[in-house]
Amino acid sequence: MTFLGPLLIVYVVWGSTYLAQKVGLESLPPLTMNAIRFLVAEALLYAYCRWRRMPNPDRPQWRAGAVQGLLLPAAGTGGAAWAEQYLSSGVTALFLATIPLWIVLGRRVADHEKITWPVTLGLLAGFAGVAVLARPSGGGGDVVAIMVALGGALCWGLGTVYAGHAPRPASALMASAIEMICAGAILVALSGLTGEWDRIGVTGRSALAVGYLIVFGSLIAYTAYTWLLDNVAPRIVGTYAFVNPVVAVLLGWWILSEPLTARTLLATTVIAAGVALIVLAPAPADSAPGAPDAREGDVPDRESSYGK
C-alpha cells in the first residue's frame, strides 16, 4: 500500500490547483499567471533533467512539444484560469473534468477505437452533467466562460490523442519540461497581445498561490503521478480524473465560500460517475490497425494529466 501517499497527493493537490488559480487571479491576470508558473517550473524541471544527463530532445520532438504545449498547458490550463475569472473554481473544475470524454471521442475519430457500452454510458452521463451545470439558472455563470472552459478541456483531449502519435522524449519528465517551455512562451506572447501586462499586480496571497502551483501542482504532484504510472495499475491511477473535481468543489465551498447548490452537487455526481465509467471500463478488445495499443484503464494517460 505504499502507493497511497502518492495517490493522495495527486487526488488532493491536483484537485486544489483550481482553488490556487482562483486566489492567484486576485491580482494576476490569468495568462500572465500561468506564463510565470510554467516558465519557472520548466526551468527547474529542465535543469533537473539535464543534471540527470537526460538527452536533449531533437527537432521533431521540439515541434511535437510545441503542439503539446499549445493544446495542453497553454489552452487547457490557461483556458481554465481565464474561465475562473467568471466562474467558481469548483464549477470550472467540473467543466475540465470532461477531458476523458473528449479523449474518447478523439480516439474514435483519429484511431477508430471502439467505444464500448460502459464508455458510451460514461459519455452520456458526462455530457448530461455538463448540461445540468450549464443551464442559465444554474451555477454555470457566464456563457463565454463556460465555452472557454469546455474549449480548454477539448484542447486537452485533442492534445492527449495527438501524444499517442507524436515523437516524444523517452523521459516523461523531459517531455513535460519542453511542453512547459513552449507553453510559457506562448502564454507570454498572448498575455502581451491581450494587454494583461498593464494589469499585473502582486499581493502576498497571489504570490503564495502561484508558488503553490509551481511547487506542488507542477513539480511534486507530477513527480508523484510519474511514480504511480511506473508502479501502480493504470486503472487505479486514473481514478484521479473523477476525484479531482469533487476535491475542487469541496475546497472552493470550504475555503472560498463558493456556493454549493443542489444543481452543482447533482452535476458533480453525474460527471464524476461518467468519468468513472470511462476510466474503469475494460479496454476495447480490438484496436484499429496501426493505432496505439489499447491498455486497460489508459484514459486518461500521462499526457492527459500533466499541468493541473
Q: Which of 71, 123, 110, 112 is nearest to 274 (CA)?
A: 123
Query: What local confidence, expressed as pLDDT, does residue 93 receive?
Result: 94
Give the pLDDT band (50/70/90) at residue 12: very high
pLDDT band at 139 (very low <50, low <70, confident <90, very high): very low
Q: Which helix (H) or strand (E) holds 23?
A: helix 4-24
pLDDT of 45-74, one tens digit each? 999 999 999 999 999 999 999 999 999 999
CB-neighbour burial class of residue 120 (10 A; exposed 0-12, middle 13-18, buried 19+):
middle
Neighbours of 282 (CB within 10 A): 12
> pTM for the full model?
0.88
Q: 188 with 35: CB under 8 angstroms?
A: yes
Whether the per-residue pLDDT at 286 is higher than 70: the answer is no
Mean pLDDT, rounded, for 94-111: 92
Label residue 118 exposed, middle or buried (CB < 10 Å: 0-12, 13-18, 19+).
middle
**Do residues 114 and 258 lie in contact, with contact meaning Cβ atoms separated by under 8 Å?**
no
3-state secondary structure of 31: helix
Please tell me the predicted confidence (pLDDT) of residue 302.
47
What was the pLDDT predicted at 295? 36
> Tens digits of per-residue pLDDT, 109-132?
999 999 999 999 999 999 999 998
Per-residue model confidence as pLDDT tens digits over 243-274:
999 999 999 999 999 999 999 999 999 999 99
For position 189, what pLDDT does the model report?
96
Helices (H) and strands (E) in the chain, counts: 14, 0
Say what percent of the chain tops pLDDT 70: 89
Position 136 confidence tier, pLDDT thresholds 50, 70, 90: low
- Interval 274-285 mean pLDDT: 83
pLDDT at res. 140: 46
What average pLDDT is seen over the chain?
A: 87
Q: Give how far Cα 44 sits from Cα of 2, 18, 53, 143, 305, Å.
A: 27, 22, 14, 37, 19
Closest CA to 41 of 241, 243, 187: 187
Q: Looking at residue 141, what is its pLDDT? A: 52
Domain range annotation of the chain: 4-304
The cell numbers describing 118, all together, are 460502459
